[in-house]
Amino acid sequence: MPNRYQHNKAFRKALKQLNPTQRKAVEEIDGPVMVVAGPGTGKTQVLAARIGSILLHTDTNPYELLCLTYSDAGVIAMQQRLLEWIGPEAHRVPIFTFHSFANKVIRENPLTFGGIDMEVIDELERSEVIRKMLDDLSPDNPLVVRSFTHHFYEKHLANLFKLIKQENWKVKDLLRDIDAHVASLAGNKDYISSRGKTKGQYKSAYYEEINRMKRLRAGVQLFPKYTRALRKIGRYDFEDMIRWVVTAFEKKEYLLRKYQEQFLYFLVDEYQDTNGVQNQLLQLLISYWHNPNVFVVGDDDQSVFEFQGARIKNIADFYERYKDTIQLFVLEDNYRSKKEILDVAGQLISYNQIRLIHQEGIHASKNLKAQSTTLADLGQPVEIITLDNYVQELAAILDTVQKYQNQGVPLSEMAIIYRKHKVANNIIKLLEINGLSYELKKSANLLDEALSRQLLTIFKYIAKEKEHPLSGENLVFELLSIPAFDLSARDIVRLNFHRVTSKLSWWEMLHDDVLLDSFDLAQADKIKNTRAILDELMVATDRLPLTEWVEKAINQSGFLAYALNHPDKQWNLEVLFSFRKFIKDQVLKNQELTLPEVIRYFQRLHDNKIPIPVMKIRGRSEGIKLLTAHSAKGLEFRLVIMPDCTSDWEKKFSGNTHFKIPENITLSGSDNDMEAERRLFYVSMTRAKEKLVILYPLKNEKGKGNKPSQFISELNLNAKNWEAPTDQINQIEAGVLQFHQAPLVKLEKDLVRSQLEQFALSISALNSFLKCPVSFYYNYILQIPSEPSAPFLYGNAIHGALRKMVEQMRLSKTKTYPSVDTVIDFFKQEMKRVRGQFAPNEYETRLVRGQEALRDYYESHYDDWILDTLAEYSVTHTEIDGVPVRGSIDRIDFVDAQTAHVVDYKTGTPKPVTAPTDKKPLGSDYWRQLIFYALLFEFQRADSRRVASGTISFIERSKTNKHIDKSFTINPEDKRLLRETIKETWTKIQNSEFYEGCGDAKCQWCEFQRTQEAPASFRDVDILGLDD
């Protein structure tokens, strides 16, 4: 075993290998030191050497050093390097992330922190806390949205509260700065029109900014209420730990002195990634000394985590604070990349102005110099390639990978680095069909995984049947289709058809062995076994603890065996493990948790759009690495390919879930946004050791033109055009881009004919067929049952209330509409009828929202309603050009003796109502719906009245807080076009042309046909939206 002398010897040898600048930085033992370490300059080596140097040249004990780093990965890397150099003593050096250090302080001082007996809040709890706050706001609050998107600002508030905690901002200071920003807008020339009729007046941008600040102010004012709400339920945010320690250090000097006495030297890694409160923690720890022994390492040019709160300004502020005594070292010797790569990357980053070397008083350069002598010659080190379209780009990726693989570059030494995850989708298919291994690490949502959804289907069925026998019938087709049961799709289809025609329940059929044996099923025994499994699981819910029951469900239902035999075994086992662990964690929080409560918990997560994150690793470690630009930081590869280098690189992807923070608070502006994206591009480039290939397709997947990234022109390199052979393009289009479908399980022709004998075409059936014929097959031929969704039930209740409103008006002697309170009572009655089909919280939320929406809708539309009208006009026996049709029209207004106007109510988010165009020759779903209703009315009635116009009327306000009524004229040509569509569709249906899907990769029916893995739901939201 190596002794301490041998480790010291190893360390001294390592010291000799440092370059002069590194060595000077390491040997500056005392006072503040800043090391600016560009990519590939040996940052970890310098930090470890600094620790070793302190221990070697002073009498400092290992435990008297404190090393703080940004991530757990940084902690591990530091410990490993120290173990190599100083041996077991490395375990005695305190190396923490900022959060783990704060946790240490809290645990070591329970009395100071009040014996905190709280748990970290989970996403669902946070969501419900914020939603409750939004529900309690007064109607005139800027954060109140009068539509069903009532919780629109939920994510905005969550992100705002997180930012306030990360920066440790004070509410009073924020409100003051917001007011100062608003005051600065008055007279600002940027907001005043300088020409035309509006010259001298404020632009619309002025009023938009004022409204943004009103919303921000309202959000900031809710922060104290949020912190109180968390304390009330015994929860805290992850960001709170550092804030608590900072506050305690500020208020309790003895506590701060305790740690200042304990630690003599402070080291900080990745300083550019620290946020405001992390920086405050460091400054407090070193505040005792005028010239503290603090050593910070970072690179302002590699600050790419601003979206997580990192502040590049911390580096500049640190230098400014200690500029009189600080020792600044800029590491320029790069041991990773070729000179040409470094020169081009340096050219790019030189366009950034927010850089430490531009700070007053700093006289230093950051010109990286290539020092590696072991890099191979792979030809021209940097290439920018322009492709005609994204298919050509895929061909270029394949060509590049295969070319350098043939030159001896291992796939594990190649990386494809992109801005957004979606870029990888077709690249993955490309690599798979060409037999090239890859590795992709990506955060996935456990709720989106097929195995999780399938387990939940079993759970829901068992829970429903336990509560009310036969209430789980609508789940049985989906349940029997679960791959783990390995049942014949043809058997399931035949059983379902018999269920529809015989009016028997699934339970009656599955428990009748004589009946099952009479069907000539391919796998009757397997079906009986599946039935037995479900029966046993149902009985077991009464005698097993929940966690044991879940274990039994996973094992006995065949899920574990299915996962073990699946080609993607590792990932499927991870899903099952994570699913089981998640439920186990919930049981630890609540020992009385029941199966129905677990199901409701999952439903609440889904409704609140909260993921259960799990790290998904696809492929093999020896394969090509597929990485986003952010996840590539800290890595290096011999070959780096950067695809899709379009103007998307310059776009911020924070989404519409953040309040705008004015520059006088963030101390950064829009210029910094561009510089942040440039830093990200720079980081991606500098991962390359020997070869960097930058690709730019002139057209995207939809054939639209792309703009090149601004950063490509800043590289000041000539791009070359490249084109793949036609046969290769054809192979890629066939293998990667075309949607491959498995043959659909067809019902016997005589059974299909019997289904169509009494079939009449409705608008929902028409649109279903036009959208995807396979969707029509499952919904209208097989008649797969589906569970009514909460939005569907809610929409029906709204429709029912408006129908009763018109009916009461027609029955009244005075022909007046009932009061709005009466209409709301109608709505409550309709909701009460279906209360049992809602989750408890969902019911209450919908009930409140519906009342608000109806009152608002009534008051804004009352003056436009005419008295000569019919509601829920039902047509069941008529035909259009020989095609039997049916439907129910929400409202028909009789304008005069010759014309009528059809109205259809919609709940939910407004969608486009567009007439036919070149790209959509059949128009939108809602456009076809109104034309269909016009034809339905005219062909059913004997009089000469014609429908001349129609309206899609959205009950709730839009996101812009407006009522939207989409009205348009219906002319003879519109009707002729739809009549042709109806006849053509009817002919195809009669010819059984519904076995070929639409081919859309996002189509749940085509996906089910291809994989036989049931979708998240068999409901078709778009078709249900027709309310037919």
Encode pLDDT of 705-735 as tens digits.
889 999 999 999 999 999 999 999 888 888 7
More confident residue, 423 or 944: 423
Helix (H, G, I), strand (E, B) or coil at 407: coil
How large a percentage of the chain has pLDDT more than 70? 93
Does some domain include residue 610? yes
Average pLDDT over all residues of the chain = 88
- Residue 640, pLDDT score: 97
**What pLDDT is recorded for position 489?**
86
Stretch among 110-114, 196-200, 381-385 having the lowest mean pLDDT: 196-200
Quick check: 744 pLDDT over 80? no
pLDDT score of 668 more than 80: no
How does pLDDT run across 885-941, given as a tens digit for each residue?
A: 999 999 999 999 899 999 999 987 788 889 999 888 999 999 999 999 999 999 987
Percent of the chain with pLDDT over 90: 57
517 shares its domain with 395: no
- 688: exposed, middle or buried (Cβ count in 10 Å: 0-12, 13-18, 19+): buried
When pLDDT is averaged across residues 760-771 and rounded to a whole number, the result is 93
Same domain, 595 and 627: no
The structure tokens listed for 343 are: 């020169």
| 267 and 224 within one domain | no
- Mark which of 675, 704, 737 sits at the end of a domain: 737
According to the model, what pLDDT value does residue 5 have? 42
Average pLDDT (743-750) is 70
Confidence of residue 1023 (pLDDT cuts 50, 70, 90): very low
Those residues whose C-beta lies under 8 Å from the C-beta of residue 103, and which sit 6 or more positions away, are 241
The whole-number pLDDT of residue 789 equals 79
pLDDT digits (tens, 9 = 90+) for 649-667: 877 554 567 888 888 887 5
**Token pair of 614 as six digits:** 């799990």
Residue 548 has pLDDT above 90, yes or no: yes
Q: What is the pLDDT of residue 83?
A: 85
310-319, 503-512, 600-609: which range is least confident on average? Answer: 310-319
Confidence at residue 663, expressed as pLDDT on a 0 to 100 scale: 82
> pLDDT per residue over 620-651, tens digit each?
788 999 999 999 988 999 999 999 999 888 77
If pLDDT is split at 50, 70 and 90, which confidence band does 1 have? very low
Predicted pLDDT of residue 520: 85
CA–CA separation, 493 and 484 (whole Å): 17
- Is 849 part of any domain? yes
Residue 131 structural domain? 122-236
The two structure tokens encoding residue 238 = 């992850």
Q: Find the largest Cα–Cα distance for the chain.
A: 107
Which pTM was predicted?
Answer: 0.79
Determine which of 304-313, 440-449, 734-743 has the lowest per-residue pLDDT on average: 734-743
Q: Which of 28, 462, 84 is nearest to 267 (CA)?
A: 28
pLDDT of res. 2? 44
CA dist 311 and 309 (Å) reads 6
In a domain, 941, yes or no: yes
Same structural domain, 597 and 716? no
Instruction: Return the residue matching tokens 């336990």.
Output: 466
Of the residues 204, 236, 268, the one at which a domain ends: 236
User: 845 with 979, same domain?
Assistant: yes
Residue 111 gets the label, from left (phi > 0), alpha (psi -120 to 50) or beta, of alpha
CATH number reported for the structural domain that contains residue 516 in this entry: 1.10.486.10
**pLDDT tens digits along 74-111:** 888 888 888 888 888 888 999 999 999 999 999 899 88
State mean pLDDT over 127-141: 90
- pLDDT surpassing 70 at residue 740: no
Do residues 745 and 477 lie in contact, with contact meaning Cβ atoms separated by under 8 Å? no
Between 559 and 651, whose confidence is greater? 559
Measured distance CA(670)–CA(343) in Å, rounded: 27
The answer to whether 217 and 141 have CB atoms below 8 angstroms apart is no
- Collapsing DSSP states into helix, strand and coil, what is residue 120? strand
With a cut of 80, say whether residue 495 has pLDDT above it.
Answer: yes
* Residue pLDDT, tens place only, 426-469: 899 899 889 999 998 888 899 889 899 999 999 999 999 998 99
Whole-number Å distance between alpha carbons of 733 and 433: 12
Whether residue 844 sits in one domain with residue 990: yes
What's the burial of 419, exposed, middle or buried (CB within 10 Å: 0-12/13-18/19+)? buried
**What is the mean predicted confidence (pLDDT) over 46-54?**
91
**pLDDT attached to residue 147:** 57
Looking at per-residue confidence, does 556 or 6 come out higher?
556
In a domain, 766, yes or no: no
**What DSSP string runs through 27-66?**
H--SS-EEEEE-TTS-HHHHHHHHHHHHHHHS---GGGEE
Q: What is the reported pLDDT for 73?
A: 81
- My answer on whether 818 and 891 are in the same domain is yes
How many C-beta neighbours within 10 Å does residue 132 have? 12
Which residues are CB-neighbours of 380 under 8 A, at least 6 positions away?
A: 340
pLDDT at position 1027 = 47
* 614 within 8 A of 392, measured Cβ to Cβ: no
CA distances from 481 to 252, 456, 506, 776 (A): 63, 14, 14, 18
Residue 956 clears pLDDT 80, i.e. is over it: yes
Residues 229 and 258 in one domain: no
Task: Give the three-class secondary structure for 641.
Answer: strand
Domain boundary among 296, 331, 366: 331
- Residue 764 inside a domain? The answer is no
Residue 1016 scores a pLDDT above 60: no
Query: Is residue 995 domain-resident?
Result: yes
pLDDT score at 4: 44
Q: Tell me the range of 223-227, 599-603, 661-665 where mean pLDDT is highest.
A: 223-227
pLDDT over threshold 90, residue 962:
no
| DSSP-based three-state secondary structure for 869 | strand
Is 1009 within the bounds of a domain?
A: no
884: which strand partners? Answer: 879
Q: How confident is the model at residue 527 (pLDDT cuts 50, 70, 90)?
A: very high
For 421-436, the pLDDT digits (tens) are 889 988 998 998 899 9
Same domain, 491 and 560: yes
CATH number at residue 962: 3.90.320
Q: Is 605 exposed, middle or buried (0-12, 13-18, 19+ CB in 10 A)?
A: buried
Domain-located, residue 977: yes
Same domain, 71 and 150: no
pLDDT, tens digit (0-9, with 9 covering 90-100), for 994-1008? 888 887 767 777 777
| Same domain as 327, residue 222 | no
Q: What is the CATH number of the domain that holds 52?
A: 3.40.50.300
Domain count, the chain: 5
Residues 627 and 728 in one domain: yes
| 568 in Cβ contact with 483 (< 8 Å) | no
